[in-house]
Amino acid sequence: MAAQPQSLPATIPTVKLLIDGALVDSKTTEWRDIVNPATQEVLARVPFATPEELEAAIASSKKAFATWRHTSVGTRARIMLKLQELIRRDTKRIAACLTAEQGKTLADAEGDLFRGLEVVEHACAVGTLEMGEHLEQVANGVDVYAIRQPIGVCAGISPFNFPAMIPLWMFPMALVCGNTFVLKPSEQDPMTTMLLAELALEAGVPPGVLNVVHGGKGAVDTLCSHPDIVAVSFVGSTMVGTHVYRLASQNGKRAQCMMGAKNHAVVLPDAAKDASLNALAGAAFGAAGQRCMAISVGVLVGAARQWVPEIVEKARSLKTTAGTEPGADLGPLISTAALARVTALVEAGVKEGAKLELDGRGIAVPGYPKGNFIGPTIFSGVTPSMTIYREEIFGPVLCLMGAETLDEAIAIVNANPFGNGTGLFTRSGAAARKFQHEIDVGQVGINVPIPVPVPHFSFTGSRGSKLGDLGPYGKQAVHFYTQVKTVTARWFDEASTAGGVNTTIALK
């Protein structure tokens, strides 16, 4: 169970709200500790914003939209250019903060930030991305053109596992399209997001164009139901995402929700063995498995089923320790609650008959006796009915299954309710072509374990991994954050009669 909000002693640093261009202290009486997951040190406390503070943030965005929507495309693009410059300048500082509050290794924290930075860079091309369409002479002297315009005040709800990348998926694309934005980062690790918000102000984002609030379910429900918010973007768990999508939709808002996953890697016996096993281990155990795109299931086909001992050895060689330690491959889980949940799921796997090939529970990490650590854990003989297969574990646990043929492996993946990401490891072009064509998953990697597309494309998903038809970045994000207006125009000179009176609907 998540830590409960509590009253605030005066000696602990506090996270600010960003309202109307100013960092302000909350007047709330409810606070939550931000805890270093490797040491249990309380780094700061985050406020659960009051209803009045939430209202002030939304009102600020509504007021700012009246002028921001008219800001030139060039001005918006130049702010994004400045923002990406500032992010590059402060990469080390932001990564250190991210590691302290979330637990990732420093290298992975920089990767988290870099993947968000790519979206900021892509946003700089808004002049091309937001272009409309024009067709001349659709009728006599009549032209039709379509233009994209901003939609209003938008909101974003981001998860704990990517406190830099996901906010950078959200607010830069919304702002560069001419909207204003209210962002609610995860209450578990909001300090990284606040650093990015401060850089946005430094880059020239005007007061009210970006507001940041903190809180739990109450804040989420306010953003999803407030009449002045027109669109909601969410990344996180299936349970919360389903609630967000339903509530936002019921209140007439656009909504995009990227949710849970159970990502499979299918390994054929003709795959480049060492490279494939390295990729599988990295994708399963990196970030302690706390990625929506983590590979949590390996489907070994044919003779590849004999590779289990080599997979175990790859995993055994990884170093589990605090993210700041040299050579760290994976750090702690985000919280003691997360550790308890993952441990319970491992125990369920044992009870339900899966073979525990490598047990990461109860590992001792020198110098960090209180950390939320669990090492790489591997099960073989996993079946679709087992709890460890049905649930998203969100920890460094790899479930191995076997299949006789590629067709059988594809059937296993397609029968799973989630459709976020998948990968195939093979040297056969024919097998790869068959797999990418028949697999019912949004993002497919061929010899690539975590196939998150670059922002020139769009992050996507299918089935239980996504609600809404548009993704959070790329061209799909431009469509999500704009509305299309069509203009049909005809101009006359003094001598024109336009053919007299026309009582039909047709243009001539």
Residues annotated catalytic, as ranges: 292
Residue tagged 């003691």 (tokens) = 336
Is beta strand 482-490 parallel, antiparallel or unpaired with respect to 142-150? antiparallel
Residue tagged 């990227």 (tokens) = 258
* Tokens describing residue 212: 């940041």
Taking the C-alpha atoms of residue 290 and residue 161, their distance in angstroms, rounded to an integer, is: 6
CA 59 to chain centre: 26
Angle, vertex CA 346, rays to CA 321 and CA 382, nearest 5? 120
Phi, psi of 68 (to 5 degrees): -60, -35
Question: Would you tell me the crossing angle of helices 273-285 and 308-316 to the nearest 10 degrees?
Answer: 50
Q: Using only C-alpha atoms, what is the Rg of the chain?
A: 25
CA 382 to chain centre: 28
Taking the C-alpha atoms of residue 271 and residue 236, their distance in angstroms, rounded to an integer, is: 33
Neighbouring-strand partners of residue 229: 153
Angle, vertex CA 27, rays to CA 25 and CA 33, nearest 5? 75
